[in-house]
Chains A and B, each alone.
Chain A
Amino acid sequence: MPKNKNRLLLVVIFAVAAGFIISSKINNVAKTSSNIQTETNNTSSPEVKKSPTTKQINNAQTDEDKLPDSPQSPSNYLEKIPECLDIQVSNTDSLKNISDKNNWMDKDPKNLIRQNLIYKKLNQEIRISVTPSQSSKTWMLQSFDVDKEGLPIVKNKILGLQYYQLAEKIKFESNGFNLDSDEQHIQVDSPNTSGSILYINDQPIEIKLFNKSNQRLLECQGTYCLCNQALSS
């Protein structure tokens, strides 16, 4: 009798499990199709107003639909920068070279908005964010483990660090791991231009510059770049 009871229990459990799997699959399919549906609806949704930038995008001959899926070499967009602003950046420049060569780049550490560092060892990843306070007199260091979805798990948060303490703390938090990626936001300021450049591993990834004289925003992300009218009509 106990054996039979166990078998019966097993049958019930498997039946429930199978039902669960099937229903979750159905749900997933339903969700995917509903997502496709809503995405499609979104494209024709009346709220997607033509932004004042549309004309500029066309003028710059950039067509979002034609963009390749994978990012291209930075040179593809960097060479377009001088069309809008007179700044000198080449795709072979490292961050240090650029900041050394260009007096428009503000090298004050207080203008380092936030620095994200990613360390890896085998399949394990840890992230460290360094954030200056408003006056940069003290710094905040946060460290994170990463879950299987690639999302951060809060590990440690240290406030009130002095600048000279940062290197030591970063070394401590990343003990035994190797630096995999280094993200920095650098603020840029010149008589004609202001903005910021996001570098990841010494490569400019995202550029937001504002031309003070004609009030245009130059914004580059990924593989293309354009000039926009700053004032909405």
Chain B
Amino acid sequence: MKALFISLLLLFSISSQAAVWDSQYTWDQRWEEQYSDWVRTSWNQYIFTDKDSPYFGIPTDCADAGYAMRAIFAFENSLPFAIVDPTKRGSKIPITNNIKRWDKLPAGVPRLKAFMAYLAGIVYTGTMAQDSVPVALTSEALIPGTIFVKPKVHSYQIKDWSPQGIPVTINSTTPYSVKDMHKYLSFPAYIPEDVKTFRDGYRRFKRPNELYKMDSTLPGFSLEQFIVSERLNFNSVDFNDFVIKRTQTTQETMEDKTRRLMFNICYSSYNRASVINESTNYFYKIQGQGRSCMNASEFDQYSTFSRDKRLKEYFVRLYKYIQRTKSFKGASFPLKAYALDIFVNDPSKYQRTRKQFLKFCTVPYDTGKILDVREVWQRLRFDLLVQNPNTTNDWRWGDYSTPFTTSCPTFEEIH
């Protein structure tokens, strides 16, 4: 019987030499093109929430989603996936799909999901720079599959680029959970600014054989975006206009642009509502457990500092566009009155009624309470929105004009 036991052990140890998935091919330009096509056609905001998706149930926050995009394509096409080990730069042993840690799990998606969860524990937006390389601001370089990284803040996946020169982005955000990602026809809320170390901006993922080579020797490497950004005094409107001119094949009309900017405002406001609901539910939950304050990790998950900054940026973009476009006031199109109304401070001078505005965009934020985007802007501009998660929906949405105070400790987000 002892021999039988040893034999079984031997068998088990042999069968345990299994990678997350086996890679049969090598990344080359042809695969990069297929990857880009796949991102354009198959990478979508519901990939982790659609019950028919094989990847249903994978939780993400911002950086995980970018890595997942590259890893899932590699998995589906038997290609290698490798990133620099962020815990030991000198080692040059990358983290790859060859890890044999999950060999007890069935091959295929279950192992991939375990690998994704592992990656989520070690990567964040700060590690994306070492796994990617900055690219030029050209339509040849800014293709689907490119990522935009703002280390320690946020990241986006470029799903497509419109004929008008506007990126279609997908992004996930905190909390780390299974959720729909966000799809925007919009530039990232940030522009390249890191003219010291070039770790942010538009980047392409490195292939496994490129991980430890000097960035500047890699195909497509370019510092152009940093130089352009610095020359434009880091002005996001000017920078994005530069990119539009570089990539557009069709002119974006005033109506198109207004609609795009207003859609982003509505979508971001609406989204904030669902995040705040989740946060408040969690806040009640910890109170039920006898705690009155979130710890640093929970605070990081449920605070909305970055999110609110981006939301404000969307309003500011529309405002600046209206201000800078001399022909705006003389133009005639249905959304114009709505766009102008947002920035009118005296309600008696509104062109559209609340009912009309709510038809355009309703933000339900508490039981029986709704806001239109004009009201969201008024609360944003007076800094009434509360980013601290140790409170309830009404405070988070600025129902009170008195400043929010808390005895709970506050922390900073690290994404």
The total number of A-B Cβ pairs within 8 Å is 182
Contact residue among A6, A34, A46, A226 (Cβ-Cβ distance under 8 Å from B1) = A6
B188 to chain A, nearest CB (A): 16
> Is A228 a contact of B216 with CB atoms below 8 Å?
yes
A26 on the B face (CB < 8 A):
no
- Interface class of chain B by DSSP: loop
Residue of A nearest to B90 (CB): A200
Q: Determine the distance from Cα of A198 to Cα of B217 in the docked complex, in whole angstroms.
A: 19
**Stretch touching chain B among A88-96, A167-175, A213-221:** A213-221
A196 to chain B, nearest CB (A): 4
Contact residue among B26, B100, B212 (Cβ-Cβ distance under 8 Å from A42) = B26
Contact residue among B4, B14, B136 (Cβ-Cβ distance under 8 Å from A6) = B4
B331 on the A face (CB < 8 A):
no
> Is B91 a contact of A208 with CB atoms below 8 Å?
no
Q: Determine the distance from Cα of A188 to Cα of B197 in the docked complex, in whole angstroms.
A: 9
B195 on the A face (CB < 8 A):
yes
Give the chain A neighbours of B213 by CB distance below 8 A: 221
Give the chain B neighbours of A185 by CB distance below 8 A: 197
> Is B26 a contact of A39 with CB atoms below 8 Å?
yes
Q: Determine the distance from Cα of A154 to Cα of B24 in the docked complex, in whole angstroms.
A: 29
> Is A13 a contact of B8 with CB atoms below 8 Å?
yes
> Is B196 a contact of A188 with CB atoms below 8 Å?
yes
Task: Using known A-B contacts A42-B26, A187-B196, determine if residue A116 contacts B223 with beta carbons closer than 8 Å.
Answer: no
Q: How many residues of B contact A (CB 8 A)?
A: 66
A101 to chain B, nearest CB (A): 20
Q: Determine the distance from Cα of A194 to Cα of B198 in the docked complex, in whole angstroms.
A: 10
B 192-210 contacts with A by CB, 8 A? 195-198, 209
> Is B216 a contact of A194 with CB atoms below 8 Å?
no
Task: Using known A-B contacts A53-B217, A187-B196, determine if residue A210 contacts B223 with beta carbons closer than 8 Å.
Answer: yes
B64 to chain A, nearest CB (A): 13
Q: Which residues of B contact A (CB under 8 A)?
A: 1, 3-4, 7-8, 10-11, 14-15, 17, 24-26, 28-30, 32, 85-91, 93, 95, 99-101, 118, 121-122, 124, 126, 136, 152-153, 195-198, 209, 212-224, 227, 295-297, 299-300, 409, 411-414
Q: Which residues of A contact B (CB under 8 A)?
A: 6, 9-10, 13-14, 16-17, 20-21, 24, 34-35, 38-39, 41-42, 45-49, 51, 53, 57, 113-114, 116, 118, 127, 129, 131, 133-135, 137-138, 140, 142, 144, 147, 149-152, 154, 157-161, 181, 183, 185, 187-189, 194-196, 198, 200, 205-206, 208, 210, 215, 217, 219, 221, 226, 228, 230-232
